[in-house]
């Protein structure tokens, strides 16, 4: 009856410096708006009275600095108010970064000091790294800066599909529903969702990305002063730790924010200072609102992310199906195979896999459901050092007619016939 329709909407009054933590229900989106006061979602202020619709299972918090009333319409898995948050310490970090950006902008162009803060956010899985990165970027964008977001997390990327590392300038506070804008990011395709598949390739691609950004900064004082915020993976032990150090080094990070782990903080404080004596290593509290996600949830999230790339968040995109002859495409794998045949090696030596070796892929039914990156390389030997234009998804392989059918986000010819294959697949659901 009329009663149950009304009971779906609910108003929550939030005191200053508190937040409403929400997990949207599994079946339907949740609508939410601010009806009084001011509130933000991960650094992006919500305009008053405007309804936002959050997809099922979305997890987020509505935070207010001075008090607000929000209205919700729909089912939640959980929603509760928390008045203990680390937001004051986070915004204090923002204030320090902002002062450094101003100092950088006031410095002579091209000088060492014209480089704004290069912040790297590290911590174990589910410590809130992506969330803190977004907040710092959105607060900076609100003040007119255009910081560069670098995402090194190949497992749960925020910029493009999983298996990639990417960077993009953030010109406006990040949309709380749509996320990071997808226009023209700089993307390198690694092809796997864990770095252990090919650690050397991961390092090489990180270096390529860093070098490209360095070149862009040298011609753009504004983005150089705004600096970057680098999100990392939650793998912090062993090789994971080595990769963090590699990232700090390669991107010349000058601020390391360590979320929620004492041991990682003290190790990095010691080791990062060896790399750069003037680096700031700062320990920050993890928010109690960060939701832990299990392996299955992460797999699902990856799959949604690939779906979103082709179809959009709300199915607003219509990907284009194309058919190509096998001979029209050149597909390569990077790494894997042995470098030299046994017979060519000294007695007793084992064949070592060359992590950067390019191996042509014979098109077969094995390509079904594989996600391929479209390289910007002109020649095959440039594939490892080239960024990618985007991705296609193989929907059919006709071995008899030697035809391959794939989905691309837009119609027209592919920008290149050089494609990269990794281990990333997707089952359309």
The window from 126-134, 139-147, 217-225, 246-254 that contacts ligand ATP (CB under 6 A) reads: 126-134
Judged by CB, which is closer to ligand ATP: 287, or 387? Answer: 287
Please state the closest distance from residue 41 (CB atom) to ligand ATP, in A: 9
Alpha-helix residue ranges (DSSP H) falling in 197-319 = 199-218, 221-226, 239-250, 262-275, 295-311
**List 73, 98, 126, 354, residue binding ligand ATP (CB under 6 A):** 126
Query: Of residues 161-180, which lie at the interface with ligand ATP (CB under 6 A)?
Result: none
* 233 touches 153 (CB < 8 A): yes
**What DSSP line would sit under 363-406, residue for residue?**
-SGGGTTEEEEEE--SSGGGTTT--EEEEEEEEEEETTTTEEEE
Distance CA 79, CA 22 (A): 4
**Measured at CB, which residue is nearest to ligand ATP?**
289
Distance CA 316, CA 310 (A): 10
Contact status: 289 vs ligand ATP (CB under 6 A): yes
**List 18, 130, 164, 197, residue binding ligand ATP (CB under 6 A):** 130
**List 204, 290, 371, 384, residue binding ligand ATP (CB under 6 A):** 290
Element (H, E) at 95: helix 87-106
- Residue given tokens 């226009």 in the structure block: 183
**List 115, 138, 193, 287, residue binding ligand ATP (CB under 6 A):** 287
Q: What 3-state class would DSSP assign to 39?
A: coil
List the end-to-end C-alpha distance of the chain, in Å, as a whole number: 35
Contact status: 234 vs ligand ATP (CB under 6 A): yes
Sign of CA dihedral 21, 26, 27, 29: positive
Contact status: 149 vs ligand ATP (CB under 6 A): no
**List 148, 156, 197, 254, residue binding ligand ATP (CB under 6 A):** 156
Judged by CB, which is closer to ligand ATP: 282, or 291? Answer: 291
**List 29, 116, 128, 390, residue binding ligand ATP (CB under 6 A):** 128
Q: Per-residue contact track with ligand ATP, 4 to 33, x per CB under 6 A?
A: ---------------x-x------------
Please state the closest distance from residue 292 (CB atom) to ligand ATP, in A: 8
Distance CA 173, CA 120 (A): 19
Contact status: 125 vs ligand ATP (CB under 6 A): yes
Judged by CB, which is closer to ligand ATP: 130, or 193? Answer: 130
Q: What is the CA radius of gyration of the chain?
A: 23
Contact status: 265 vs ligand ATP (CB under 6 A): no
Judged by CB, which is closer to ligand ATP: 42, or 393? Answer: 42
Query: Of residues 50-89, which lie at the interface with ligand ATP (CB under 6 A)?
Result: 59-61
Q: Which of 159, 137, 124 is nearest to 232 (CA)?
A: 124
CB atoms within 10 A of CB 135: 25
| Chain residues that interact with ligand ATP, rule: CB under 6 A | 19, 21, 59-61, 123, 125-131, 153, 156, 234, 287, 289-291
């Amino acid at each position: 009856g009329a009663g149950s329709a009304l009971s779906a909407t609910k108003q929550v009054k939030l005191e200053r410096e508190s937040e409403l933590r929400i997990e949207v229900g599994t079946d339907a989106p949740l609508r939410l708006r601010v009806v009084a006061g001011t509130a933000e979602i991960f650094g992006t202020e919500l305009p008053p009275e405007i309804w936002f619709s959050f997809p099922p299972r979305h997890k987020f918090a509505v935070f207010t600095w001075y008090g607000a009333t929000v209205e919700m319409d729909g089912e939640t898995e959980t929603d509760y108010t928390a008045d203990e948050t680390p937001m004051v310490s986070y915004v204090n970090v923002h204030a320090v970064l902002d002062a450094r950006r101003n100092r950088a902008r006031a410095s002579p162009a091209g000088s060492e000091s014209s480089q704004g803060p290069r912040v790297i956010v590290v911590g174990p899985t589910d410590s809130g790294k992506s969330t803190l990165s977004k907040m710092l970027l959105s607060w900076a964008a609100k003040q007119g800066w255009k910081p560069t977001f670098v995402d090194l997390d190949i497992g749960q990327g925020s910029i493009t599909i999983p298996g990639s590392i990417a960077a993009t300038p953030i010109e406006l506070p990040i949309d709380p529903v749509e996320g990071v804008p997808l226009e023209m990011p700089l993307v390198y395709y690694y092809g796997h969702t864990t770095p252990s598949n090919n650690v050397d390739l991961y390092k090489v691609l990180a270096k390529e990305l860093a070098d490209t950004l360095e070149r862009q900064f040298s011609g753009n004082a504004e983005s150089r002063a705004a600096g970057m915020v680098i999100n990392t993976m939650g793998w912090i032990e062993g090789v994971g730790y080595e990769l963090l150090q590699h990232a700090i080094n390669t991107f010349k990070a000058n601020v390391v924010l360590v979320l929620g782990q004492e041991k990682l903080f003290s190790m990095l404080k010691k080791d990062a200072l060896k790399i750069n004596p003037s680096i700031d290593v700062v320990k920050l509290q993890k928010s109690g609102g960060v939701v832990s996600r299990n392996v299955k949830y992460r797999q699902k999230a990856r799959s949604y992310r690939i779906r979103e790339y082709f179809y959009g968040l709300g199915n607003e995109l219509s990907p284009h199906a194309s058919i190509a002859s096998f001979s029209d495409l050149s597909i390569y794998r990077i790494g894997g195979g042995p470098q030299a045949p046994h017979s060519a090696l000294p007695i007793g030596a084992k064949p070592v896999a060359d992590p950067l070796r390019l191996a042509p892929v014979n098109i077969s039914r094995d390509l079904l459901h594989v996600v391929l990156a479209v390289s910007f390389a002109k020649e095959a030997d440039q594939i490892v050092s080239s960024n990618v234009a985007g991705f296609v998804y193989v929907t059919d392989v006709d071995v008899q007619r030697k035809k391959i059918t794939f989905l691309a986000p837009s119609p027209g010819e592919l920008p290149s016939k050089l494609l990269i294959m990794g281990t990333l697949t997707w089952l359309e659901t």
